[in-house]
Structure formats: structure tokens, C-alpha cells
Structure 1
Amino acid sequence: MTKTELRRVAVLGGVRTPFCRSHTAYAELSNLDLLTTALTGLAERFSLHGAHIDEVVGGAVVTHAKDWNLAREAVIGSPLAQTTPGITMMQACGTSLQGALGLAAKIAAGQIECGIAMGSDTTSDAPIVFQKKFAKRLVAASRAKSLGQRIGAFKGMSPGELAPVPPDTREPRTGLGMGEHCELMAKEWGISRQDQDLLAFESHKKAAAAYDEGFMDDLVIPCAGVFRDNNIREDISLEKMAELKPVFDKLGGTITAANSTPLTDGAASVLISSEEWADSKGFPVQAYLTLGRTSAVDYVDGEGLLMAPTVAVSELLQQAGLALQDFDYYEIHEAFAAQVLATLKAWESEGYCRNRLGRDAPLGPIDRARLNVKGSSIAIGHPFAATGARILAVLAKLLHNGDGKRGLISVCTAGGMGVAAILEGVGRSSSADAVIS
């Protein structure tokens, strides 16, 4: 199939639950509860009760063993037709954006007509597991055929075996957490505490304004009596932020609770389709998902863990024949303010772009007034697998409502990976450039 034969992929819109700090409003909810709520909200927004969707793809990062079939179980609990398949996947913070890119490739190739990408996470319901030795005793007891054998399984057990193993999000290859890795990036790129605090401050102000102006009205659905993200601080001040102590490097660090994303619970979903399917349902197209790219860096041997989006975006621009400045909106996921600022600085670095990205010249600066114009993860929150779908829905609506013609998405993920995508406004894209890779 040649490039010109591929179909355009329409983004029709998305919805999400409010995002809430962990152990607050959603403390009693599971990943499945949140994912089903987001999927049901999308079905209600688009009147999809009883409708068959070709594929629903999504998942969560922090899961229990019982969560192995999350996407299908969420479908079963939603108003969608029970014939709708649910496919569970996980790519850390890139999960729902990567899910959308996979669906888009199938739509572009004519394999399916419509799909839903989604993601959910709750660290309030993180799995607590036992020490391996005690777990083996439990398995042995469950297999025992007599009371004596069950009692015998615990013979010689020490109290220390009962100590639970807490959830751990450290990188298995380095033993460092994401925040510790980002501290290394902040030092390497000379990212100041003041610049990080300012970016975080602006994220809160923009997110609060987005609610006040009604932008979030059709994007956020109620969940468990919550109607608004509970991490946004309308009254945030740079002075109070400056008083906080570093979290990951207490002596010489710059990353604090205020310029990082909080641990967050929530879920998001987004509907994409072919133009023909959208027309048949009477759904207006908000934007077209035209290109996507997933890249990785060798963070084990010294590259920044969260620097892969610089590579993904560079490769994406080369494929699209675009410059970094050819965008009206930039949605760069705010895992940490330092990550965003390191990414921007790398794109302006002649040495980095030449040596790491293989370019003759730097990608250059962006217009910061176009960056995360409705706030992003520092203010709104970051339920890991849900963030990509949240960003995709926000950018599609921006392109649909405003004068912007093109938007860029960049999401960093654990494991040294980055996912990037380009959205085009309805009046901009053509079938010849609607390619998903």
C-alpha cells in the first residue's frame, strides 16, 4: 500500500475523570472502576449505547494480578456493545497515546473503522505483596491436602517474612527512581530551581483558567462526586514554592513537590475513527492524527532517562518535513518541570542536535506562549497510563476551537522511551500526509 492510499485518521474527542491526588477522593476506587467510568462517559458523550467499536485499547501501569484483562472488563462494564473487543497494553506513561497510534495505523490501513484509546492509574490501590519466601509458604498451604500439611507449610517461619514489599517504581537497571534520574538531567542541563518553579506556577495558572473559561466542561466528567481536578492551586505563589525543600536530592537538588507531578488517580479515553465512520454517525472531526513516533535512549549507560522525546520529535519532524517551529500548539507532558526544560534546552543545543540527533543545526526554540496552554501534568495530575489520552483530547479540541492548524505531542516514559505525535487541524491535513508510523 502506498502512502497516498492511506486513509486519514480522525480524532473525534475524549473525556476523562477529574484527576485526584492519591489517597484522596478515589481512595476506594480501582483501576477498573476509573477506566469503566471514563469509557462510560465517552459512550454517553457520543451516544454510543449499544454501539460496536472495532477495538478498545488501554491499560494501567500500577496493577494487581486481577487487572490482567482491564480493557475488556471495562468494555463489559460500559454501555458499549458486548461484541466490542478490549485489548490491554502498557507502555508506562505513554500507554494511551501509544494505544491511539496503534489504532490509528489500523484505521489508516483500512483494517478497522473506529477505536478507543484509554488509560487509568491509581496509586491509592497499589498492590502490596509479601516477601517471596512467605509467598511460597502461602502457595504450599493452598495446595496442601490436609490440615497438618497446611500447618507444616509455615514451620520455621520468622516474623520478618511477614514484612510486606511496598510498591516500587525505580528503574530496575539503575535502581534509581524517575525523580532521581530527572535530578541528574537537571544538573547536566543546568536547569535552575527558579525556572522549574516558574513553569510549574504557569501550569497551575493555565489549568485554573481553563476551568474558569469552560474549556474543560465537555472534557471532564464527574466521578465519585468529584467534578474538578483536586491538585490545581489557583492561589499558588512563587514565594511559597521557593520555601519547599528538594525531594530527591536533599542537599543539592532542585526538584520539589511543587515542580513535579503528584501521584495521581484517574482515567481518560479518546475516540478516533475513519472519516467515513465519523460521517456515518454525524460526528464532527476535531483534528487528524497524522504522524506518530516512539523512540528510546540508552539511559543505563548515561543518557537522561526522560530525554527520549527529544529523539522521537526529531525523527518525527524529519519524516514530516517540518521544523520545530511549524506548530501552533506544543503539548509536552510535564513529568517534572526539569524534564520539559531539559527537552527544550536540548533542542536548542547545537552539540546535542549534531551528536545525538544527527542534525546539522539545532532544532531551535519554540514559542513558549504556545506550550501547554491549558496547563499540564504538574497542575492537573498524572495518572500514568491516562496522560496520553488526556493530552490527545485537549489538543484535538484546541485545534477544533481555535485558529491553530497543527499541534505537537511529546510524552516521556519510564524505561528511557518517548512517544510523540502530530495532530493537524481539519482545514490543514490531506490524505497524502495522513501517515501513521
Structure 2
Amino acid sequence: MSKTLRRVAIIGGVRIPFCRSGTLYADLSNLDMMTAALSGLVDRFNLKGAHVDEVVGGAVVTHAKDWNLAREAVLSTTLAPSTPGITMMQACGTSLQAAMGIAAKIAAGQIESGIAVGSDTTSDPPIVFSKKFARRMTEMASKKTVMERFKVFSGFRPGELVPQPPQTSEPRTGLSMGQHCELMAKKWEIPRVEQDELAYESHKHAAEAYVSGYMDDLVVPCAGVFRDNNIREDISLDKLATLKTAFDKSDTATLTAANSTPLTDGAAAVLLASEEWAAERGLPIQAYLVDAQHIGNDFVSGEGLLMAPTIAVSKLLDRNGLTLQDFDFYEIHEAFAAQVLATLKAWEDPEYCKNVLGKDAPLGSIDRTKLNVKGSSIAVGHPFAATGARIMANLAKLLDQNGGRGLISVCTAGGMGVAAILESPKAKAMDVAA
């Protein structure tokens, strides 16, 4: 027997301040930061001792000891121990994908509540040795006598101890994400000045969000840190124009450290529930998660590593009978300024929309004054797995304050895109009244 799908409420979210790698969180682990974000969420919504049906999320840069990060984080908070934790990863879309899975179960009536969470640190990366030395260590652990262990190291060479640093390049191409985005910037002819202008606006909007008090209930302190340390209130377009390119030293390169996201440490969490669960606890609903979509693209053949969100958004619009212009807010993750601008340009391009999206006409342009109005990843930072939850919590608050409908678009490594539509309860009320 089929069931009527229930609406999925977003109660709200919090995050800890995001910090540049190697700075204020240098001594914290993924577990430390995820626990801090979850604890902040518990405090904000009075969940001490409460059972939540699922906590789902993870990290992208992990150690072997992080075997079930979400469950260990739950056990480190005051949530009821009956709350299960599930660790998953989809690169930069991790916590948004986690929210999608939770939402599907709530909609189907399988669960009543869930928390999507993500944490990442590039200050504490896993450093491994060569495979040969690793095999020696594994074999040594199985030996019982000193002599047997000594024999394991027969033929040992010092070079085996050279550490293997974490790799950030795409396995299929050997290129870093920045190098891939440089190719996109060239293909879509995205000027350096436009990238710098987008970065400038991101910092200005994020700084204003703190000054206005908008961030007060979205950010909880951690390890004595009270705000993101990447935001530059005094940012200058003249200064941005002087910076050297970061991923390509040719004369045609345009990406710099300033118009790209920095390596960042941080964590974020967002609470989703059925309307009934929220009402029982007297928790106001900030927004509804209406629908979501994820997809991959053939970036190896040249479609662009970070262009999959263009496809995800197109499918989402079709399924919901909406146009690209039917939104009051757009939250497009700023992996790179060039990536955001290439996405916008692709939606306006007849050939791309026909050949890649299967459209008879372009999706069109958006009102740029509605884009990332409180800043985004270039300014606040991008702890990979935490960004989706950060964006969802931010958009839910915007809709709670202003009403309307919002679109989320997140690109990920591996040529994937994750997109979602959120809607304000006020919009629903207006629909009923009409």
C-alpha cells in the first residue's frame, strides 16, 4: 500500500567557526569539531537526552581511526545513546547528501528526525608511508619473538620511510581541482576581474552578516574561536588584482588563492524532522526541504569537473515545474569564483543547454543580487564535508526571515553535483491564502 509522502521540515542548523588550515584548529580532530557542532545543535534546540532517529554525515579527509565518525560524535554529546550514527562521504556534497537521505526517510514515514553533519580538517591529514614499509609493519605485528620481528626488516632501506602526502588530484586525470577549474575558466572565457569581483562580494557579504548579528545563532564557539578567520573586512579589488595565479603560471591563468576557497577546518550540522516531531517539541520550522537531486558528468571527456550541478539543477527544475528564475535566494557553493561564473554562463548558453541539458532553450540568467547574499565559501571557508550543512542552515534561516523559495547548488570532486530546493512555511501559507 502506497503512503502519502510527508513534508520534511528543516528546524535549523549551527556550525563552529571555520578556520584556515594550520591555524586556530591545528590541534583538533574531525571528531573534536563534529562533536562541537553537534553539541551546539543540541544546546540550541534543547535536545539534551533526546533520541534522534539518525545522525548521518562524515568527513572527506579521514584517518583509519575515524571508522564511524558520526556514531562516535553522537556518543560524545548529550544526545541519547540510542541515537544511531552513520558515516558516509560524497566529497564536498557530503552533508547535503546526508540531509537528502534523512529527508527521504522522513518523507516516507520511516523516521521522524535526523541530523546531517559534516566535519573536515586539513590540519590533521593522514600521513602514510610507502606500501613496502606498511607491509613490514603489518607483518611485524604478527610476529611473537624479537628475532622474528627483526627479520621482517631484512633489506630495509631508509627511502621506505619517506612519507606519502595526501593527494588532492583527481584519480582519473591526475589534475587538481584548481587545475580543472582553470580549464573551465578558459573554456567559458571567465575574466580574472569577474572572479575577483565575486570574491570581493563574498567577503563583503560575510563580514556584514557578522556585523548585523545575523550569524549569532548560526555559529557556536569552539576552542575559544568565535568567528571565521578567513573573512577580510578590508578586502580591496586593487589588492586582489596584484595576486599571482595559484594553479597555472601561464599568461592566460586567472585563478588565485583569493578567488578560490582556502583549505579550511570546521564542522556544521542541521536538524531535519517531520512536522509532528517538531510540533511535539515546540520547535518552529524554518523551511521545508522540497526536493533534491544529485548526478555525475563525464568530466574525463571534457564536460568540466565542476559542471555537474548545472545538470542536477536542470533535472530538479523539470521535476518541480519551475524555472531558474522562480527563486528568491540562490546558494551556489563557491569552490572557485570561476566555477560559479561558469555555471551561470552555462545556464545562459543555448548550445550547452541543448547538448548537455537537453533543452530547447537556455535556462537563462538569475538576479545576481539574490546570489550568496550572506557570503559563501570563498569568504567563510570550505571544510569539505561541512559545506552542505552550512549552506542548508543558512538558506533555511534566510527563508524563515524573508519567506520565499531557495535553490542550493554544490559541486563535488569526482565530477558530481548536488542540488536542493527549500521553501519557507510562509510561502506555503501564502499559497493556501491565495
Smaller-chain TM-score bracket = over 0.9
Amino acid at match of 2:369: A
Aligned-pair CA distance for 1:302: 1.3
Aligned length: 430
- Is 1:358 aligned to residue 354 of structure 2? no
Equivalent in the alignment of 2:77: 78
Amino acid at match of 1:168: Q
Amino acid at match of 1:301: S
Once the two structures are superposed, residues 213-269 of structure 1 have per-residue CA deviations (whole angstroms, 9 ceiling, x without a partner) of: 000000000000000000000001011111111111011310000000000000000
- Is 1:324 aligned to residue 324 of structure 2? yes
Structure 1 residue matching 2:427: 3-state secondary structure: coil
Distance 1:139 1:271 in 2: 42
Equivalent in the alignment of 1:233: 232
- Is 1:348 aligned to residue 353 of structure 2? no
Equivalent in the alignment of 2:138: 139
Distance 1:66 1:254 in 2: 39
Once the two structures are superposed, residues 328-363 of structure 1 have per-residue CA deviations (whole angstroms, 9 ceiling, x without a partner) of: 000000000000000000000000001110000000
- Is 1:69 aligned to residue 73 of structure 2? no
Equivalent in the alignment of 1:102: 101
Equivalent in the alignment of 1:159: 158
- Is 1:306 aligned to residue 310 of structure 2? no
Once the two structures are superposed, residues 180-227 of structure 1 have per-residue CA deviations (whole angstroms, 9 ceiling, x without a partner) of: 100000000000100000000000000000000000000000000000
Distance 1:135 1:66 in 2: 16
Equivalent in the alignment of 2:205: 206
- Is 1:58 aligned to residue 67 of structure 2? no
Equivalent in the alignment of 2:427: 428
- Contact residue 57 and residue 99 of structure 1 kept, 8 A: yes
Distance 2:152 2:184 in 1: 48
Distance 2:428 2:64 in 1: 43
Aligned-pair CA distance for 1:429: 3.8
Structure 2 residue matching 1:265: 3-state secondary structure: strand
Give the structure-1-normalised TM-score: 0.97
Runs ≥4 in structure 1, deviation > 2 angstroms? 427-430
Amino acid at match of 1:235: D
Aligned-pair CA distance for 1:149: 1.4
Distance 1:159 1:384 in 2: 35
Aligned-pair CA distance for 1:88: 0.4
Could you list the runs of 5+ residues in structure 2 that have no partner in the other structure?
Answer: none
Equivalent in the alignment of 1:39: 38
Distance 1:427 1:61 in 2: 36
Amino acid at match of 1:280: E
Once the two structures are superposed, residues 386-419 of structure 1 have per-residue CA deviations (whole angstroms, 9 ceiling, x without a partner) of: 00000000000000011x4100000000010000
Distance 1:427 1:387 in 2: 26
Distance 1:272 1:236 in 2: 36
Aligned-pair CA distance for 1:137: 1.0
Distance 1:137 1:204 in 2: 49
Equivalent in the alignment of 1:377: 377
Distance 1:143 1:177 in 2: 38
Aligned-pair CA distance for 1:428: 2.3
Distance 2:340 2:78 in 1: 38
Structure 2 residue matching 1:58: 3-state secondary structure: strand
Equivalent in the alignment of 2:175: 176
Structure 2 residue matching 1:418: 3-state secondary structure: strand
Distance 1:382 1:68 in 2: 23
Distance 2:237 2:143 in 1: 61
Amino acid at match of 2:124: D
Give the structure-2-normalised TM-score: 0.98
Structure 1 residue matching 2:399: 3-state secondary structure: helix
Amino acid at match of 2:274: S
Equivalent in the alignment of 1:435: none
Distance 1:184 1:424 in 2: 35
Aligned-pair CA distance for 1:2: 5.9
Equivalent in the alignment of 1:262: 262
Once the two structures are superposed, residues 247-302 of structure 1 have per-residue CA deviations (whole angstroms, 9 ceiling, x without a partner) of: 11011310000000000000000000000100000000000000000011011111
- Contact residue 288 and residue 429 of structure 1 kept, 8 A: no
Aligned-pair CA distance for 1:155: 1.3
- Is 1:413 aligned to residue 412 of structure 2? yes
- Contact residue 119 and residue 386 of structure 1 kept, 8 A: yes
Distance 1:334 1:92 in 2: 15
- Is 1:368 aligned to residue 382 of structure 2? no
Within a 5 Å distance, the mapping from 1:389-408 to structure 2 comes to 389-402=389-402, 404-408=403-407
Distance 1:151 1:193 in 2: 58
Distance 2:119 2:134 in 1: 28
Structure 1 residue matching 2:65: 3-state secondary structure: helix
Distance 1:390 1:315 in 2: 23
Structure 1 residue matching 2:265: 3-state secondary structure: strand
Distance 1:30 1:288 in 2: 32
Structure 2 residue matching 1:427: 3-state secondary structure: helix
Amino acid at match of 1:348: E
Amino acid at match of 2:27: E
Distance 1:2 1:360 in 2: 35
Aligned-pair CA distance for 1:427: 2.3
Equivalent in the alignment of 1:215: 214
Once the two structures are superposed, residues 36-80 of structure 1 have per-residue CA deviations (whole angstroms, 9 ceiling, x without a partner) of: 000000000011000000000010000000001000000000110
Could you list the runs of 5+ residues in structure 1 that have no partner in the other structure?
Answer: 433-437
- Contact residue 197 and residue 337 of structure 1 kept, 8 A: yes
Structure 2 residue matching 1:139: 3-state secondary structure: helix
